[in-house]
Chains A and B, each alone.
Chain A
């Protein structure tokens, strides 16, 4: 079946701009996770949704970062006033419940110039 998809695959923006990154989880998966991966490092947790609500947002680095999942499926990660340090690959994962294995999408590569 279809896996986790993320759009766009690449996003180039200028410092100070606003960006939205989209994640389509595996159909029926109730849990959704966002991670960020900088070059040469392992992924770093940002936020976790169970259904429509954010169950754990402890990894969001500051208030410029926000994520929503209004209908419990698709999620959007929003970054305001982007900075060059936000450049990274943003990964999304989903699982059938919070207790199950997480399956990752291909990621969105964000470059802030």
Chain B
């Protein structure tokens, strides 16, 4: 079973920041938080990952709470192309990915 809990759906206005929450209260010390997204009819796309420090790349920012029991993926300026299912995953580096049901993010014009 997936070790994360995400809201099934969210929506966000185009141009605004999209903040996607994820709970992973049973995360172990050697498990990383990964985010992938899946646009309709495509394979999952890697977004970002982190262990305990906040991370930022060209796609998004990842904020991990100090106790590491939850995290938030931030898309700073959402566009229509960001409409997708977003998966939050916890895994030990090198292990298989166990996907949950994800959050279906809709961006409204």
Contacts and interface: CB of A to CB of B under 8 A. Distances in A.
Interface of A: 4, 33, 35, 41-45, 48, 56, 59, 91, 93, 97-99, 101-107
B96 A48 contact: yes
A56 B98 CA distance: 14
A97 B94 CA distance: 8
A98 to B, nearest CB: 4
Interface residues of B, number: 20
B44 interface: yes
A10 B14 CA distance: 33
B109 interface: no
B96 A103 contact: no
Contact of B42 (A33, A102, A103, A106): A106
B50 interface: no
Contacts of A42: 2, 85, 87, 99-102
B96 A56 contact: yes
Contact of B46 (A43, A59, A103, A106): A103
Interface in B46-92: 46, 49, 85, 87
B45 interface: yes
A44 B100 CA distance: 9
A17 B37 CA distance: 33
Nearest to A104: B43
A45 B96 contact: yes
Centre residue among A42, A44, A93, A104 by max chain B CB count within 10 A = A42
A106 B41 CA distance: 8
Contacts of B10: none
Contact of A45 (B34, B42, B97): B97
A101 B46 CA distance: 8
A45 B89 CA distance: 13
Contact of A106 (B2, B43, B93, B102): B43
Interface string B18-40: 00000000000000001000000
B96 A104 contact: no
A29 to B, nearest CB: 13
